[in-house]
Amino acid sequence: MKTSTVAELLSKNIKLHDIEIKGWVRTFRANRFIALNDGSTIHNIQCVVDFEKTEEETLKRITTGAAVHIKGELVESQGKGQQVEIQVKSIVILGDSDPETYPIQPKKHSFEFLRENAHLRTRTSTFSAVMRLRSSLSFAIHKYFNENGFYYMHTPIVTGSDAEGAGEMFRVSTLDEKNPPLNEDGSVNYKEDFFGKETNLTVSGQLEAETYAMSLGKVYTFGPTFRAENSNTSRHLAEFWMIEPEVAFMDLAGNMDLAEDFLKSILNYVLEQNKDDLEFLEARLLDEEKVKPQAERSEMSLIEKLKFVADNHFKRVSYTEAIDILKNSKPNKKKKFKYIIEEWGADLQSEHERFLVEKHFKCPVILFDYPANIKAFYMRLNEDGKTVRAMDILFPGIGEMVGGSQREERLEVLKEKMKALDIDEEELWWYLDLRKYGTAVHSGFGLGFERLVMFVTGMGNIRDVIPYPRTPQNAEF
């Protein structure tokens, strides 16, 4: 007989019949009722054991965490709380679980505790829901690009150029750390290193994606990205996944349209496909909110919030307008911001971004045309000579979700910018070649995947939306 999944057995139009199922015991109650879960759905299926016909030795081994193989009959449930249940005819314990030491007890655990047990935390409802959503979101992303004529491109993880300027990098080296080969001046001689030059883990696949956009037209990367910043926040990881589309002949306005359409389409996909998990997470959040003071509770439930973003236009606001709003805002005048906005040119901190999104506009905001000197070297300089065609998309509860721009396609302007920032032209010779041979307007953006998963699941800490988070002082598992 084919083994069924819990999801299959709980689906509405399944026929009642003899079945076989394998999974893990969540709870075992009254020597009779097993709540069984196999990861296929947030829901458990109730398996009713006839304790008179089951050996005592077997009954003892049905404990939380044990893996079991059950044969039985799917019947309409006698009790409340479920439509169907399994009348167990035979049960085999595939693997015991010591109930004394099993960390995932059937009770509420703190997320901190579960992070320390990240190898087992997907045996809880919350983390299994989060990780199913993570998987579904990745699929929705590939689906969107595939249906819209984009090619999936694998950009390198090890890179030889450190000019992106997106953040501090992790060095990749096979040199003997105690006794590295030295140059005459005492510095390390990377010519003798594995790649014959200094190499690092990539901070972004953008520059390589640009090369493919300028031949294949529409491409995207979706891969791991590494930043060695020492920022221990609930929104930063040292290893995170980034989605970076890059499109030839597309300007900044087109870039904004693409990003908005892309995000909405993905939200709609999970709203349709992951209802059960979203409903569970929504209820979890409502529970959590109950203990908060009224003023701190959110106005919308999780699903309402996702629908709101999927159905409403993102507000498009220039950096200059945003600075005016912030300068005249209450928290700025009353010096409630940690960083007071005094004048045009100031870099926006997350407190400012969140004020704009959560208090002022109350919807996702696309900020564009930032001052050139607070943004990366490759962004297209505007005619005013002081702003660049950059855009950041800010989300409620998250802050920066997306960062992107129209790229500088003019060779001379780009070279000048690199010179001013002391970026070696020789190192980026191939990047400059794009501006020599068939250069054209092109644009793209980067979406931090974990920030998207945070938004969709309502989880408050980025460490809880990636299987094994890498953060300063932490690389367990």
Which residues of the shown chain bind ligand 4AD in the complex (CB under 6 A)?
166, 204, 206, 227, 236-237, 240, 242, 244, 400-405, 444-446, 448, 450-451
Taking the C-alpha atoms of residue 202 and residue 167, their distance in angstroms, rounded to an integer, is: 10
**Nearer Cβ to Mg ion (205/403):** 403
Q: How far is CA 468 from the centre of its chain?
A: 12
**Nearer Cβ to ligand 4AD (72/205):** 205
**Nearer Cβ to ligand 4AD (28/370):** 370
**Nearer Cβ to ligand 4AD (34/242):** 242
Query: Which of Mg ion, ligand 4AD, none is residue 223 near (CB under 5 to 8 Å by kind)?
Result: none
Query: Which of Mg ion, ligand 4AD, none is residue 237 near (CB under 5 to 8 Å by kind)?
Result: ligand 4AD
Applying the rule CB under 5 A, the residues between 388 and 447 that interact with Mg ion are 403
Rounded alpha-carbon distances, angstroms, from residue 178 to 53, 188, 195, 200, 381? 67, 11, 19, 20, 46
Residue nearest to Mg ion (CB): 403
**Nearer Cβ to ligand 4AD (19/209):** 209
Q: Which among 385, 321, 369, 373 has a CA at the least distance from the CA of 345?
A: 373
Query: Which of Mg ion, ligand 4AD, none is residue 190 near (CB under 5 to 8 Å by kind)?
Result: none
Query: Which of ligand 4AD, Mg ion, none is residue 236 near (CB under 5 to 8 Å by kind)?
Result: ligand 4AD
- Dihedral sign (CA 110, 304, 274, 135): negative
Q: Which among 444, 443, 442, 469 has a CA at the least distance from the CA of 454?
A: 469
Query: Which of Mg ion, ligand 4AD, none is residue 242 near (CB under 5 to 8 Å by kind)?
Result: ligand 4AD
Query: Which of ligand 4AD, Mg ion, none is residue 459 near (CB under 5 to 8 Å by kind)?
Result: none
**Nearer Cβ to ligand 4AD (114/209):** 209
Minimum Å distance from CB 121 to ligand 4AD? 20
Q: 403: which residues sit within 8 A by CB, 6+ positions away?
A: 390, 391, 392, 393, 445, 446
Locus of tokens 């794009």: 434
Find out whether 443 and 451 touch, Cβ atoms under 8 Å. Answer: no
Minimum Å distance from CB 197 to ligand 4AD? 22
The DSSP symbol for 310 reads H
User: What angle, rounded to 10 degrees, do the helices at 125-147 and 275-290 form?
Assistant: 130
Q: 425: which residues sit within 8 A by CB, 6+ positions away?
A: 415, 418, 419, 432
Query: Which of ligand 4AD, Mg ion, none is residue 401 near (CB under 5 to 8 Å by kind)?
Result: ligand 4AD
Minimum Å distance from CB 344 to ligand 4AD? 21
Minimum Å distance from CB 199 to ligand 4AD? 18
**Largest alpha-carbon pair distance within the chain?**
85
Q: 207: which residues sit within 8 A by CB, 6+ positions away?
A: 161, 163, 164, 378, 428, 431
Minimum Å distance from CB 466 to ligand 4AD? 9
**Nearer Cβ to ligand 4AD (23/404):** 404
Taking the C-alpha atoms of residue 184 and residue 163, their distance in angstroms, rounded to an integer, is: 26
**Nearer Cβ to Mg ion (130/454):** 454
User: Which residues sit at the interface with Mg ion, rule CB under 5 A?
Assistant: 403
